[in-house]
Amino acid sequence: MPGIPEEPAAESDRIFALQEEIDQLKEAVVSHAVVDQAIGMVVALGRVTPDEGWAVLKDVSQHTNIKLRSVADLILIWGRSGDIPGEVRVELEKALDQYGPTQIPGAPPE
């Protein structure tokens, strides 16, 4: 006995739900890339490890009450233009003081 085909409304709802899920996954991929790029900037400029770079972003986000993705965006803008909001700069400096700088391998002691 063949199964009862889904009603058009149920099928339509399922398609809508899947499209929403696809949109969320696309946004997550973009967001992840932005955060990874910002971590890379923090690592390079702050001379910290990638794990410490992640911790720096989290700390700045928590202390400024700005979403982590937005903090990452602001850091990337800062890298391009040199502009960063004052409160973010202050928290970024505090976090970098806490986590770094890590000594560059082979570099003479400071």
Domain ranges of the chain: 13-99
Reported as type and span, the H/E element at residue 1 is none
CA separation for the pair 68, 91 (Å, rounded): 13
CA separation for the pair 91, 81 (Å, rounded): 19
Q: Which two tokens stand for residue 66?
A: 């700005």
Q: Where are the alpha helices (DSSP H) in 47-110?
A: 50-64, 68-81, 86-99
pTM of the model: 0.71
Each residue of 4-27: pLDDT tens digit? 555 677 888 888 888 898 888 888
Q: Which two tokens stand for residue 69?
A: 């993705």
What integer pLDDT is reported at residue 38 of this predicted model? Answer: 96
Strand, helix or coil for residue 13? helix
Residue ranges of the chain with per-residue pLDDT less than 70? 1-7, 102-110
The DSSP letter of residue 105 is: T
Q: Which two tokens stand for residue 108?
A: 């003479």
